[in-house]
Structures are given as structure tokens and as C-alpha cells.
A = this chain, B = another copy of it.
Amino acid sequence: METTPTLKWKHAEIKVLMYFHALIPYKPVNPKTRLASVMTQEEREEFAEVMLGDVISAVRKTGCTATLLCTSKYTCREALVAIRKEGLNEAINWALPQFHCPALIIMSDLPMTTPGSLQRVLSTKADMAIVPGLGGGTNVIFVKHPETFHVEYYGFSYRRHLQIAEELGLTVEIIDSMRMSTDVDEPSDLVELMIHGHGNAREWLYEHGFALSMENGRVSVTRNGEKIA
């Protein structure tokens, strides 16, 4: 492991992170491209920001502070911001060795996350808790000794993270949560958010012409009256 550099926060230089600090990777420009068929780029940027806001809000209500790992310039009142232009794994693996306390790594597209669901993660007795994403990804990791851990996102990252934990001899608790397993990537994911969301992301959808409707006995999503999922 290389010498751990000081995190270069946007707002301040911080040498020691607080207990239960969250890392939230975030892409401010042209995010959520799989929603491009139903939202303009500007809308996707706004929607991604609103989802992020819901995640930060849930994180802060558990008592955690948060740092965004942003791919480009970004201002946020509720979290620290570190600009990291490299890939997702490189950015997180740059931050982890600098932790001297447990770390929560949570994706920014989990707007159904509630403080209660996060508490299930943070209260684990294991060395690590993980919430798989639907389809084999990893949505949330909580690791008590992040300085020895590293992440490998993309693809079947859930299996990979379990393997990494095993290689490190860590005990792992798998958290069974629909709210945190459902990341919002595709139009069809909007159904769950519109049904189960409590925060601003759900409101944003309704304010922008999205609605739930019934078709052939199934719940579908429409935008301005047209079915999109």
C-alpha cells in the first residue's frame, strides 16, 4: 500500500475522518445514461442530484457525515466534496487507506434508502456488511477496517466483494433490503421509486410528468400519458 495522502477536500483539508463516515461516488455531468430514452441530459443531471440529496439525507440522519467523490466540480452544502477524475474503483481505493474509522460506501442512485434501512447496515456485528444490488452489483458496503479493504465495482462485483472479504478473513453480514438493492438505472426501476419512495426523487418524477398507471393488470410508468416502462 502506498503512502496515504491527505484527502484534498473541496472545502477544507481534513486529516482524520469522523467515525462512521460515508463515501458517495457521484457523477454530476451526463449521469444515468440508461435513462436517456425518457429524460434529457439536463433532466438526468437534475434527477441524479435529487436522488443524491435523498441518499445524503438518509446518511446524515443516521449520524454519519459524508464525502462525495465527484468526477467533476460540484458544490454541496450537506457533504464534503473531493474531486476525483479517475474511475470509480480508483477513487474509492484512493480514499479507503486514509480511513481510521469504519467506512460506509453507498451509491448515489439509491433514493429509497431510509435511515432505518441504513441502521441495519451500520449496526452489524460482522466486520463488514454488504447490500447486493439487483443483477449482481454492490450497492452498499460498510467495512469496519477500510484501510485494509479495496473495492472492485462493475459487473458481478457482489461476488467479488465477498471474495475480497474472504481473502481478508472478514466476517460478512448480507443485508436483505429491497430499498437498498434497487438502484435506479433504467426506466423500469422508476416503478419501485414511485411506489416506495418517500423523498424528493419521487416528488421530482411526479412534478415532471411521470405517473403510475395500470396496463393489463400490471403497474407501469407513464410520462405525459405515454407508457415508458
**A interface residues with partner B (beta carbon < 8 Å):** 114, 117, 132, 134-136, 154-156, 158-159, 176-179, 181-182, 191-192, 195-196, 212, 214, 217-219
Cα–Cα, bound, A195→B137 (Å): 10
List 8 contacting pairs A-B, 8 Å CB cutoff, sorted by A: A132-B196, A136-B191, A156-B212, A158-B195, A159-B195, A176-B178, A178-B178, A178-B181
Query: A214: which B residues are within 8 A, CB to CB?
Result: 155-156
* A169–chain B nearest beta-carbon distance, Å: 23
Question: How many copies of the polypeptide does the oligomer hold?
Answer: 2
* A181–chain B nearest beta-carbon distance, Å: 4
Choose one: B132, B191, B217, B218; the contact of A178 (CB below 8 Å): B132
Choose one: B134, B136, B154, B179; the contact of A176 (CB below 8 Å): B179
Cα–Cα, bound, A106→B195 (Å): 21
Q: Are A135 and B219 in contact (CB under 8 A)?
A: yes
